[in-house]
A and B are shown apart, each in its own frame.
Chain A
Amino acid sequence: MNPVKRREFLQSLSKASIAAMAAGAPRQSSAGSATASLARYAPSADSMILLWMGGGMAHTDTFDPKRYIPFTKGVEAKSVLSTFPSIDSAVDSIKLSQGLENIASIMDRGTLIRSHVLADLGHILHSRHQYHWHTGYKPPLTVAAPHLGSWMSHILGSRNEALPSFIEIGQSYAGNGEAEELKAFSTGGCLGSEHGPFRISNPADAIKSVRPPAGMTFGRFQNRDKALRRMLAASPLAEYGSDFQKDSYLRSLDNAYRLLSSPAAEAFDLSKEPKEVYDIYNTGKFGQGCLLARRLVENGARFVEVSTDYEPFKGWDTHDNGHTRLKGMKRMIDAPITQLILDLEKRGMLDRTLVVLASEFSRDMMTEGKPGKEVRAQAKVQDKIQDLKFYGMHRHFTAASSVLMFGGGVKQGFLYGATADERPCTTVTDAIGVMDLHATIYRAMGIRSDYSVDVEKRPFYVTNLGHGKVRKELLAKA
């Protein structure tokens, strides 16, 4: 055997042995030995919910309030650091921005990072920063980088064989000006489409995605499946001998049927929720998404992302009217996120569920990009603000951003990092980039930050070059 063949052989062998090791984990509900041996760390969380504040959430108007200057005609823009007053939280040392009273009341359950520094990618394009945040890699690149959720699906598999392991809620693509850029990272990438997201654009319709097609009764659905089984048994395919592709195909059909006929499918049905609970969550699509995420995690989902639905110039992407629009955005997230945490706690699941709230960068009234390296501004600023619509954080700011974490082994009532109290309100201590934040998240999930797969004969890591460093300070037991 020549060296090359031998090497290929060994590679295919390693593929198989890894597969064999991990066989128990994903959909075979038995043995979880693989998880431990592959992941190396004992996980402090089994599931993760990512709450995605798409569009750039201003830190000074949400989780890192600074000097508040109310709007008056002619107010000097550069004097305004926050457009809302601060409020107390359950933790003495932590103040939040007005409008987040509910979250403030549960700050004792979570860790607040105020020193998240985002990549310096030049002229801002939201989806490019979102790509970086979700994959850990800056596009373009020569490998199709997998989404955080795809890595978890690939390494940890699903916790419940009937549920897809990576579920994405709330992001819409149709008619979205950056749809193609968003799709570029909402993907299993080099891990294959099996690890791509199960997309639910509208949580209110989620149940449709796990029910027989519209207009088909369950009885008919079952009969159709039975007929298929009979047809398979009658098939002369056997004449072609054993065939791996056929077997795996049938396996995938089994999985699909299992989900569609499983009690777990009820998790997708928001109407099954008591009205009083539903009403607390129901601030719209995002709130419903939080409720759906809770139901899915309760039923064994591995990774769920709930997005505020990024669309250029909408949601958190406040190029104008920032102050006014943020009132609405805070109303949209405050109650459901709080209820999500309380519900998980009540069910005894918070300890094993990591909830992370993040955004691709922050915003500021004056600085576009980062201080000292400013780039072409995309929002107009009045030096003396005459009109309320100019009152708000309208420029894209990458030098500091807030991240909120709950459960899953992170510290409680903990504040990490700080930003300056004067403009440009940039990170002053404990700067943490996407790579180390990811390493810490992976660590909580039990995954090494230098876990890698072989793509075109070179290793491709969960964090860039495997260099992500776990910030143990954030973890309760590290």
Chain B
Amino acid sequence: MKPFLLGILLLLLALPCAQAVEPFDRVVDLIERRCGECHTGNAAKGGFSMNSRQSLLHGSDNGKVLQSGKDQVKNKNHLLLDLLNSQDDDEWMPPKGKRLTAEEITLFKQWINDGLTWKAGFVFNNARKAATAYLPVKLPPGTQQNPIDRFLNLPTNQACSDALFIRRATLDLTGLLPDPEQVENFVKQTASDKRAQLIDQLLADKIAYADHWLTFWNDLLRNSYYGTGFIDNGRQQITAWLYQSLLDNKRYDQFTTDLITGAPGAEGYIKGIVWRGVVNASQRPVIQAAQNVSQVFLGTNLKCASCHDSFIDGWKLDEAYAFASIFSPTGKLQVVHCNRVTKRSAQAAMLFPELGRINANAPLAERRQQAAALLTSDKNGLFARTLVNRMWKNFFAYGLVEPVDFMANPSWNEDLLNWLAEDFKQHHYDLKHLMRRICTSHAYSLPAIGNPNLKETSADDYSYVFRGPYIRRMTAEQLLDAVGKITGTWNQASARDKDPEKKFRGQGGQYAELLKIQRRLIAEDEKLQAVHQGKSPIELTMRASAAKENDFMRILGRPAREQVVTQRDGLATTLQALELTNGKTFDDLLRQGAKTWLAKKLKTQDLITRIHLQALGRKPTQKERLIATQMLPSPTPSEQALSDYLWVLLALPEFELIY
């Protein structure tokens, strides 16, 4: 690869959630800030609207405001520039606030010279909001067993290998690598529905399932074991409630209701994060509640509208405040515009009024009950679609709607989205049912492909066409657990993690909670007893999802959970590579791992096969075996040689990526 291209890759690697702003975006920002109040949205003072390029060129009651065409600044006929530069108090623009700076005027000039470039389809303040109704869809005819496949029209002759499938599915549903025996048995099996059987088995492993999905929901619900806010009792964990809910596969409507009403153990979600001191009006706990509920459960972003009417969609400040008022003690809130108190007061109301009414005079607890009932009602298709879309994204790395927190956007397959949402509702909001639907589809069995969204450099028209799951990167938790499987050394719980007595203002104690729940579950369940009998005590196999965040995990991409996180970094970083190459944590794990494998007293060739199967889910090729054999002298390799060999395998991209 050319160095230049590598540079691009490297830069992109640096841009997981952010991108530099284009000149047009600067113009948009400038118009929003300085012209927007009077000339965008419904406002068109002097008959001038800047909503679209068309309206812009149409001009005002006083005629043309801007001339189109290249290099037009020399053309003196730009009312806009005249008014910006005017010395006449009665006509200069904008009439409120400071004059535009020279730089801002230059920006307009450049834009005029560029021919008033406009992003196709862009409209200021376009009143986009997601629809809430369910839209019934008929299942298309076809022979495919899984309904998903009938919507996608996929080639049936392609599928990933069994070995890849078991690795992918086991990581996706339980967060773990399959053991070598499991891989070999699965590959050998001949039953035609063996993939479906595997999915059922994986979903039935309650503990592994809950351990794995804890990470997903912690990110989404901002549940952190340690973090800001705790220091002043301004935050509360929901760990035990969440874990129990996952073990029980709690219906998603009930799960949501618990969070919104603040069921025992789930109170921390609405409580939010409260820092010491004075906070911006848009970050008070009630507004946080509105932002988080709308984002997580409705795929609707209220962050803009928490300060002012949104520029990116149709949400108004007053609507955000009305929704937040549901969580306020009085059912009312004084509306605050960009941290300035207005004279308006908001009354508790649903974000989407068509879902039903909230009694603003009812007591707080009752209002929260009403909101939960309306949000999770069988009329609210948006509730189901948002969740279905999140799950789809989780398994395919590209949502049916993108971005997943902007459900007002159209889907690349509306019918499939609607059908899955309806199916989810029909099956009582059963998350495992939805996962089974997805994972038993042929779509999920397809070979994984590279994700072009991470590197789109082509100027060609791009629109999404489903061709299979994208290759994904393990989460920090999956990677650490995989290392645990291979080295036999798992995360260690600190005293504060496992001793509720040592909890500090609500921080820590999370592992104690999980252990308590696990033990109770095992005691009640004979099947689980059989599974766990003779195995190491679960205390020794603490999953990374239950561990306190450390530097290693942070570098691997575990977020601080200060904000709602719906997507982890898709690309590895140099800091990660450094940690893997010389970090003490990782080095200790490798040495421990070498000891563990040597203690098995396997012949070198068996050792090579087993380690390879465990790490990569397949046997080594001839060439790979040759390299391994050179690294591991027979009959017994030294601990040092073996730990170097383990490093090589764990440093392979094939290990970290889910194909």
Contacts and interface: CB of A to CB of B under 8 A. Distances in A.
Interface of A: 1-16, 18-20, 22-24, 26-28, 30, 38, 120-125, 128, 138-144, 153-154, 164, 177-181, 183-184, 187, 190-196, 198-199, 209-214, 216, 220, 223-224, 227-228, 230-232, 234-237, 240-253, 255-257, 259-260, 375, 450-460, 465-466
Interface in B15-38: 15-22, 25-26, 29, 33
A456 B584 contact: no
B323 interface: no
B9 A248 contact: yes
A235 B654 CA distance: 9
A41 to B, nearest CB: 11
B132 interface: no
Contacts of A27: 7, 10
Nearest to B582: A213
B231 interface: yes
A245 B570 contact: yes
B20 A245 contact: no
Can you list the 7 inter-chain pairs with the closest CB atoms, starting with the nearest? A3-B121, A23-B7, A122-B278, A122-B277, A453-B18, A256-B577, A19-B11
Contact of A256 (B311, B449, B578, B621): B578
Given A240-B447, A248-B454, A451-B20, 10 more contacts: A3-B120, A9-B462, A16-B12, A24-B7, A123-B276, A138-B279, A140-B228, A142-B306, A179-B226, A235-B652
Given A192-B17, A196-B554, A458-B304, A248 B644 contact: no
A256 B462 contact: no
Interface in B619-659: 621, 623-624, 626-627, 631, 640, 644-645, 647-649, 651-654, 656-657, 659
A209 B581 CA distance: 10
A252 B275 contact: no
Contacts of A23: 4, 7-8, 10-11
15 contacts: A1-B463, A23-B8, A24-B7, A30-B3, A125-B275, A125-B276, A142-B282, A142-B283, A220-B640, A236-B621, A244-B450, A248-B9, A248-B571, A452-B29, A459-B25
B196 interface: no
A7 B653 contact: no
A128 B624 CA distance: 53
A234 B577 contact: no
Contacts, number: 344
A22 B654 contact: no
A245 B653 contact: yes
Contacts of B19: 11, 14-15, 18, 453-454
Nearest to A120: B278
Given A213-B584, A245-B451, A249-B657, A192 B569 contact: yes
Nearest to A246: B653
B15 A15 contact: yes
Taking each of B22, B25, B582, B631, which has the highest tally of chain A beta carbons within 10 Å of its own beta carbon? B582
A454 B229 CA distance: 27
A450 B644 CA distance: 48
Contact of A227 (B123, B276, B631): B631
Nearest to A233: B623
Contact of B15 (A179, A192, A223, A242): A192
A241 B624 contact: no
A3 B9 contact: no
A7 B119 CA distance: 7
Nearest to A192: B16
Nearest to B462: A9
A142 B569 contact: no
A187 B282 CA distance: 23
A245 B454 contact: yes
A107 to B, nearest CB: 34
B282 to A, nearest CB: 8
Contact of A453 (B9, B20, B583): B20
Given A13-B456, A144-B563, A252 B17 contact: no
A178 B228 CA distance: 9
B130 to A, nearest CB: 12
A8 B572 CA distance: 24
A70 B649 CA distance: 67
A458 B627 contact: no
A471 to B, nearest CB: 15
Given A139-B228, A224-B648, A2 B121 contact: yes
B328 interface: no
A194 B20 contact: no
A35 B647 CA distance: 37
Given A4-B409, A180-B227, A199-B551, A18 B20 contact: yes
Contacts of B557: 193
B303 interface: yes
A360 B448 CA distance: 49
A164 B12 contact: no
A16 B651 CA distance: 28
A242 B450 contact: yes
Contact of B275 (A140, A142, A199, A209): A140
Nearest to A369: B277
Interface in B421-480: 447-457, 459, 461-464, 471, 473
B301 interface: yes
Interface residues of B, number: 122
B108 to A, nearest CB: 14
B415 to A, nearest CB: 16
B6 interface: yes
A12 B456 contact: yes
B283 A6 contact: no
Contacts of B232: 125
Contact of B587 (A7, A213, A235): A213
Contacts of A211: 582
Interface string B69-97: 00000000000000000000000000000
Nearest to A452: B21
A125 B659 CA distance: 46
Contacts of A183: 554, 560
Contact of A9 (B282, B461, B587): B461
Nearest to B280: A138
A183 B654 CA distance: 31
Interface in B579-598: 580-584, 587
Contacts of A228: 647-648, 651-652
Contact of B402 (A8, A138, A143): A8
Contact of B581 (A125, A198, A256, A460): A256
B7 A194 contact: no
B18 A7 contact: no
B18 A249 contact: no
B450 A178 contact: no
Contacts of A245: 450-451, 454, 471, 473, 570-572, 653, 657
Given A140-B288, A260-B582, A458 B312 contact: yes
B1 interface: yes
A460 B25 CA distance: 12
B366 interface: no
Contacts of B273: 140
Contacts of B581: 253, 256-257, 260
Given A231-B624, A249-B571, A121 B277 contact: yes
Contacts of B405: 456
A68 B410 CA distance: 70
Contacts of B652: 228, 231-232, 235
Given A220-B644, A245-B454, A455 B18 contact: yes
B26 to A, nearest CB: 8
Taking each of A121, A212, A224, A248, which has the highest tally of chain B beta carbons within 10 Å of its own beta carbon? A248
Contacts of B208: none
B14 interface: yes
B311 A10 contact: no
B406 interface: yes
A251 B9 contact: yes
Given A196-B554, A249-B653, A259-B578, A142 B563 contact: yes
B572 A249 contact: yes
